[in-house]
Structure formats: C-alpha cells, structure tokens
Copies of this chain bind each other. A is one copy, B any other.
Amino acid sequence: MLSSMKPERIQLFGEGDAPQKPIETLGAKGAGLDEMARLGLPIPPGFVIPTSAYRLVTSDEAGSIPESLKLEIDDALRRLEEASGKRFGAAENPLLVSVRSGAAISMPGMLDTILNIGLTRSSLDGLAARSGGSRRFALDSYRRLLEMFGAIALGLPSDALEAHYEEARVDGFRLRAPEDVSEERLEEVVRALEDELCRVDGMGLPQDPREQLYRAISAVFRSWDAPRAKRYRESEGIADSLGTACTVQEMVFGNLSPRCGTGVLVSRNPTTGEPKLYGEYLPNAQGEDIVGGSRIPYSIARNGTAPGNEERSLEARHPDAYARLSEIARTLEAHFRDIQEIEFTIEEGELFFLQTRAAKRSARAAVRFAVDLVREGRIDKDEALMRVDAASLERLFRPTLEPPTALEARGIKPLARGLPASPGAAIGELVFDPDEAIIRAAEGREVILVRRETSPEDVHGMKAAAGILTRGGGMTSHAAVVARGLGKPSVVGCASVDIDTKSRLLHIGGVSLPEGSPITLDGTSGAIYEGALELSASGALQELDTLLTWADARRRLTLKVNTESPSKLALARALGASGVGLCRIEPLLFPEFRRNAIQRYFLSNEENAAKEALDALELGLRSDLEALFTVDPSIPYTVRLLDWPIENFLPNEPKEKSRLASSLGISEEALEQSISALCEINPAIGRRGVRLNLLYPELASAQIRAIFNAAERSALEAPIEFLIPMISGPTELRLIRERIESEASGRAFRLGALIETPRACLLADRLAAYADFFSFGTNDLTQLVFGLSRDDASALWRDLLEEPSKHTQNPFATIDRAGLGTLIQRAIELGRSKKPDLVFGISGEHGADPASIHYAEELGIDFISCSPPRLPSARLSAAQAAILHKPT
C-alpha cells in the first residue's frame, strides 16, 4: 500500500535493491531503465512512481496528488537533483524532467508523456545558456511544454494548440524548417499558447515548477483511463486493472546542436529477422520527431533501408558511436534474452539511453529470432515455441508481389518508393482518412489508408485497412510500428506522396489519383504501384520449418485438414496434416453439371429422370473422391454426408430457372412452385444434415455407395470414416448407421457424429452407442447456443454481445467458454462415461484459432481439423497449448 509507503520507497534508477516484481510495480519502461542503470549503462537519472500510486491518484475524482505522495515525490526529486547536479526550478542550469507513463504491457503511443517539465518563464534564459545561449532553443522547448501541458494536463485539442507553430512555419506553399522560424516569431507563438492555456484554466501553465510536476504526473496517470487507451486495451485484451506507473527522468536534449541527436535502435532487423543492427536517428532532434514521423530519419547501419542516405548513416558518420551502440545492443540482448528496441539520445556527444524493451517484430522476424536464439543457446525450444504468435504465421503464407526488378523487367514501374515498414503486398482503394477506411471496409472493400503521418487517433482506421502508406515517418515511426504489430503491409516515409485532402486527390510520382483509385503497396520493397497487380504464392521460410518440427515433437493434438481438393490435400500433407478431418460433399456439387443433376433430382416429376440424375451424381462423387483418396491412401479420411439445406442447391437466377424448367419439361410457374415448396423460412435450422439424408434415403445411399466404392478403388489403408451432420438425438444416428451398414456389404467403416446441436451435447452418452468418434461442429453450435445466425448477425456481436471493459472474442472466431464451453465439456464427460475410447475432434473455423486450440488441449480433445493455410499456425498453437498445459 502506498499510504504506508515511506519516503525512501521511491528509488532512483539503479538505487538500492532491484524491486521484486519490477514490471508490475515500475511498468516495462521503468523496469527497463532500472535494469539498464544496474548494468551500468548511461541513462539520465530519474525515478518511477509505482503503479500503486495510479490507483491512489485516479481514485480521486479531480485526480489530485495526495500530500503524502507529494512528500515522497519531493524527496525523490531532491535525490535526483543531487544525482544530476542541477536544481529543479533554478533560474540557472535548471533541472528539467520528462514525465512519462509506462505500464507492464507496452501500449505504444496510447498513453501520454510531457517533456520539459520544470521550465518556466524565469528559467528560459538558464536553459538557453545550456545550448550555447540560443534563446530560440529555450523558446522551442517552452513551446513544446506549453503544447503538451495544454493538451494533456488541461485537455485542450492538440490540433488547435499546434496550429500556432504550424502557422509560423508556413512559407508560401511550403513549410519552413524548424530552424528557419525566427526567435521573434517563436516568442509570438509562445505568448499565444500561454494566452490560450490561461483562457481555460485562469492560471495557464503553472509557473511553480513543482505544481507543473504534480499536475503532469496526475495527467499521465489519468491518461490510462482515456477512451482511446481503453479501446486499445479492449482490442488487445489488456486488463484495465493493470494501471500505469509514471517515470520522472532528467531531460536530455538531442536538439541542442548538430552534435546532438536522437535515435531508435533495434538489436536485429525486426522485419526480416536478420541478425544485424537496425534503426534510425535524426541529428539535432528530440525523440518525438522520430516517433511522430514529421521528419524522415537516417539509418543507423550503413546498409540501412532508407534509400539514398547511406552516407548519412550513423555508421558512416560516427563509427565510434556505432561501435558503442553495437556493443551495448549485444549486452542488452544477452541480458534480456530477447531482441531489444532501444531509444537513445546524444546530447553534445554524450550518449544516453532512454528506454529498452523487447522489439516489436514481424511474423517472419519473430520466427527467425526464436530459432536463432535457440541456436545461440540463449533460450530453449519450449521458450522459442512460446515466443512466436501462432496467429501471425498465416501472414507468412500470404501471396506476395514479385520483386520490383522482376516487375520492371516486365515494364511495370512503381509510382514511387518509400520505406518498407511492414512486409507483404496490399491492394486496395485509396482512402485519406480513417473514418472513410472503416466505412468502405465495412462494405467489404479493401482499402489502402494514406496519411501524412499517423497518430493513435488513426489506429481504428489502420485496423480496417489492408495496407498503410505515409508521407512522413521512418521505420520506427508510429505508422511503421503499428502496421508491423497489426501485420499490415505498410510503406512509410514516401516523400514524393502529396495528399490533397480538399479535392481528395493523391499526387504521387507525377500522377494524380482520386480517392477510391486502386493501388498496390509492396511493404517488402517499399514500392507503390498504380492499379491492382497480380500476386503470387510466397516462398517458405527455412526457420519456420525448423520451428514447426520442434512444435510437432511437442504437441499432443492430432492435426487434420478440411479439404475436398487433391491439390490442397497434397499441400496440406506438406504443411503437416496427418489425415482429412472433413471432406464435404457440397463442394463436389459446385460444377454446373453436378448442380444441374442435384436440381433434377429434387425437382423432377419423373421418377426415371430423378433416378438418372442421382446415378450420375453417384458416379461423379465416386470419381472425385477416388481422386482425393489416391493422393495418399495411407492416411484416414472423414467424409461428411450432405449437410446444407436444399435451397442452397436450387436455382436463383431467372435464366438458370428457365433453362431448368425447359429441361425438366415443366412450366416456369410449376418450377417456381416446386422451388418454393422446398425453401424454408429458417434454412439454418431446417431440413438439413442428417434430416435431409433420412428424408431422401436414396440420396443418402448414393453418397454412401460413392464413398465406399471410392475408398475401395483407391485401396485406402484405414477404414473410411463417415461424419453425420446436425444430429439432435440417438434415433437419427442409429437410422443412418443402419443405412450405412446396409450399403457396406461387410466393408469396414467408422462412424462419427458431428455434434452441432445443444441437444447432441446433452445426449452424448446415448449417441456414443452408435458412434466411433465425435466431431464438434462449433460454428453451428455457436449459432444455436447464442440463438444468433452467423449469416445475418455477426456484426451484432461487437455492438451488443461483448462484455465491455473486458477482452472478449467474437464467439464465431474463438470458442465461447462460458456458454458453449460448458456444453462441450458435458458432451465429453457423457460420451466418455459410455465409451472410454471415444475420439473427440473439432472441425470448423475454431479448429485453427489459437485460443480455441488451447481450450481444446484443456478439454482433452484428440484432433482438430482446419483449412490448409491455417495448419502451420495450428501446429504451433497445439505445441504452445501442450507446453502451457503440461510444462516439461
């Protein structure tokens, strides 16, 4: 409890003993700084006000700092003055501090920071003296303080505050460089800001530095509860109760002179995973200039990715500093056993570290890092498996563009090139603001969001977009970091892009494209193309094979594939499927002539014609299935009998109807009548699944014979498995079992019930008598448990059904544990009670969802079956689930 905290409890970085739970108490940023101090790395002195204080401050409605806490802060500040050799609020050489938020889990850009706290009118000259007497520098620092304090502590709109300075930079049709804004003009800007702050507050920026500090701390704590931050946590599944710590640290300036600078360093390439230094810096700048993306920075390494500035790279310009950084990056990586992203500032040639944390990384880099760290002996295989986000693996299999050189050889030239901030290809319609992106995406259209630079306000639009393009920013800008986090292809820092928001035009490489025009982004090369280019399959990644081999050795769950296609099955075998868990009959009926046959079967008045149609179908099914089984006769195959409601097979289009009517020799009216007699009000809960097969027994028999005969002709090694959909009671299962037995002629088979009604779960003990295995059809189960049709109402989920302030998943994506989970558990208990060796599986989209796979592991499910592209992710998830469920 903070109330019982003694003043000495707030420690300066590196002081005293390391705290027991540093991240929970100090936040990730504070803990990283403390750790760096303990490693002897140069960091500006400072301290952390722990997360417990967040609760104390925000429990007060006004967010004021209690007196006891003020005493503790004052005490820490005194020791900070000692450590820095400067005095807070002194007119000469004043101690200025940054006040930053920092939670246990990183929320990039979501929480607030105020810099230059402690600066007042009376210390402006003292600060000016530090930059060689430049009052312009002191005024600019004061301007930044006013802007940040106004926006964050006083809640003024930051646009309006920043407009004063923006105006001062306007020079005809372009913006002046910051250094070209005159001292007088800056004085005016500062005065205008002071006035504006006074207008809301009466007092304006407090001229008592301590008051500034208290209010900044309070504002930083309160930023945890801003709607933006809440939304972010909701979407990322971060608990609200975590709270944030608050770091108070001496300011160092990267913008005092050309001998200053600021940068972000990543210990290995976070896009490709290559083991070499990566990052950017800006001379004579503050950190926000890099993150905010208002200037395009230079590379740290000589062979950095920003085109044309190799010579300006840190490696080229300051080889000593580069060598120092390399060494420190290695130290930090070894210490934290992970790839680090490090912020640094150089003040008058002196290097300071401001932050280190595990680097955000692309899916590709994550795989490579994990495998490389095992090879380097830093982590074991289990840890490597846990380090990669399983869901992200799918991205590695996404189609990509040919490289620019190959395209150019075919005459396809990019409109422009920027920095390849997040890999992959994206094709979509140009949009210029996040709201428009959301609107068009909701209509099912792919969009590319183009912005000058991005800020946390844009994140919702970035999520909706297929790709992101910015004019400003570098590889570590907000746009780049967020795009990599989201796995969205992104090109940033493309200076030859100009957005005309008034006439809704994008000027790029000499052409002007109106909003809505299709463009193609190559996030891997940084190239931007007009129109929609063709994509091709991406190559495999060697490290991924290694990682997945480790995963296979670790997982307990059997993985199967959902497919009807021989070529996809071949792919799935290569991707790790050990059988076909779900081969549906429906897709085999898609071809025109098959569709026509099934229509003739249902709609013909003549028995002979119906019989002929059915015979043709049987032969066709047999031959398709034979082709599938022949791909690998050594694996088991599960074939599901027809499940869809009849109306899915009936003609829709007037043309198709009139063709069918004339081929059946009946009038269109008669056909229309027959069709409407077969249609249902609620097809999802109508004449489908096992019901359809029992109502049309000859249709069931035709499928069963086709399946048996195909299995026989392709000499399958294991008995063929039948899966019976939409079971709601034991009689149905018994009746269909009898039908299969009557067609089997002694051939072996296994029978599975597709458990997709609540009643099937509740009567699982009675179903077990007739089944060899159960496969949970979690899509339909979810529909029925919620009484919510996926066809109609999945959009309702977000709006109505989720629990606010808690991370809940769309139940059609991740199994709903509270509701559906209970039923599945019950079904397993009941089924095993009657048949201990009953096999359980999950087929359907949940089968590849990592959270659902973890749940399947907990429940003791035997196999999951998913589509081929989701197999790698499922293999990794299954291994992770095994590790978490049964650590070695």
Contacts and interface: CB of A to CB of B under 8 A. Distances in A.
Interface of A: 680-687, 690-691, 694-695, 726, 728-732, 735, 756-759, 762-763, 766, 780, 783-789, 791-793, 796, 799-804, 816, 818-820, 822-823
B787 A728 contact: yes
Contacts of A728: 785-788, 801, 819
A691 B789 contact: no
21 contacts: A680-B792, A681-B789, A682-B683, A682-B684, A682-B792, A684-B685, A685-B792, A691-B793, A694-B799, A726-B787, A728-B787, A729-B819, A731-B800, A731-B801, A731-B802, A732-B800, A735-B800, A759-B816, A759-B819, A759-B820, A784-B787
Contact of A792 (B687, B763, B816): B687
Contact of A759 (B684, B786, B792): B786
Contacts of A802: 731
B685 A788 contact: yes
A800 B786 CA distance: 25
B759 A789 contact: no
B796 A687 contact: yes
Contact of A732 (B758, B792, B801): B801
Contacts of A788: 685-686, 728
Q: Which of A685, A694, A757, A791 has the most CB of B within 10 A?
A: A685
A749 to B, nearest CB: 22
Nearest to A693: B800
Contact of A799 (B695, B803, B818): B695
What is the interface of chain A mostly: helix, strand, loop, or mixed? helix
Given A685-B787, A730-B803, A758-B785, 6 more contacts: A685-B793, A691-B793, A726-B787, A729-B818, A729-B819, A757-B786
Contacts of A791: 680-682
A787 B757 CA distance: 6
A856 B243 CA distance: 49
A789 B731 contact: no
Contacts of A730: 803
A730 B805 CA distance: 14
A820 to B, nearest CB: 8
Contacts of A731: 800-804
B682 A762 contact: no
A694 B800 contact: yes
A765 to B, nearest CB: 10
A803 B766 CA distance: 12
A728 B801 CA distance: 8
Q: Which 9 A-B pairs have the closest CB atoms?
A: A759-B819, A757-B787, A680-B792, A682-B789, A686-B792, A685-B789, A681-B791, A682-B684, A758-B758
Contacts of A818: 729, 759, 762-763, 766
A683 B683 CA distance: 10
Contact of A695 (B735, B780, B789, B796): B796
A758 B784 contact: yes
B681 A822 contact: no
Given A731-B803, A731-B804, A822 B762 contact: yes
